[in-house]
């Protein structure tokens, strides 16, 4: 969708601050066999760079060409400027898939199929909370309680957590680490 591309290009034009990698990824990356990794909606590449530095060859996908410019010349990182509405994850290709603060439910099956046997999925994003300070937020962009557990029930769950992360805004997150059997 063009408006999504424009929105994210504008965001990354205004801010090029690279945040640290996802804590969940830092804790659980050693569970994955070194090989090929996928970073879904990678943004500026905080997780891509971490996975690469750990030894992975990383496919980094994002809708924003501005965000991907950080990664284009990095060794062992392949960038793909794609709208995830149209992206198909290659089957049986990845030792590690990281999905950080992006939710597109129609990718769930592709994520599962994209993992190699013993491949690891690390997934963290916002959980719906009716107490959110912004009641106009679209609940479609938030996970429901236990939704990740249900969506990836065919994987071996290594870690699952739902928690409030910011008291003032009542933001909640869901975290999942799972292994393809």
What domain range includes position 72? 2-180
pLDDT at 66 over 90: yes
Give the tokens for residue 108: 């769930």
Into how many domains does the chain fold?
A: 1
φ and ψ at residue 62, rounded to 5 degrees: -160, 155
pTM to 2 decimal places: 0.91
Of residues 62 and 128, which shows the higher confidence score? 62
CATH number of the domain residue 110 falls in: 3.40.50.150
Mean pLDDT confidence for 123-139: 75
Q: Which of 9-23, 120-134, 153-167 has the lowest mean pLDDT?
A: 120-134
pLDDT of residue 140: 78
Is residue 81 packed enough to be buried (19+ CB in 10 Å), middle (13-18) or exposed (0-12)? Answer: middle
Residue 168 reports pLDDT greater than 60:
no
Report the distance separating Cα 155 and Cα 74, nearest Å: 32
């Amino acid at each position: 969708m063009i408006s999504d591309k424009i929105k994210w290009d504008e965001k990354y034009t205004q801010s090029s601050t690279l945040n640290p990698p996802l804590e969940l990824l830092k804790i659980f990356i050693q569970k994955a066999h070194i090989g090929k990794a996928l970073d879904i909606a990678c943004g500026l590449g905080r997780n891509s760079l971490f996975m690469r530095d750990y030894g992975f060859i990383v496919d980094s996908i994002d809708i924003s060409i501005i965000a991907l410019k950080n990664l284009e010349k990095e060794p062992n990182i392949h960038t793909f400027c794609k709208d995830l509405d149209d992206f198909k994850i290659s089957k049986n290709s990845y030792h590690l898939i990281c999905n950080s603060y992006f939710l597109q439910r129609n990718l769930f099956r592709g994520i599962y199929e994209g993992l190699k046997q013993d491949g690891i999925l690390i997934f963290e994003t916002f959980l719906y909370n009716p107490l959110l300070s912004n009641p106009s937020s679209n609940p479609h962009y938030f996970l429901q309680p236990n939704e990740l557990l249900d969506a990836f029930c065919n994987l071996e769950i290594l870690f699952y957590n739902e928690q409030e992360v910011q008291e003032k805004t009542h933001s909640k997150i869901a975290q999942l680490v799972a292994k393809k059997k």
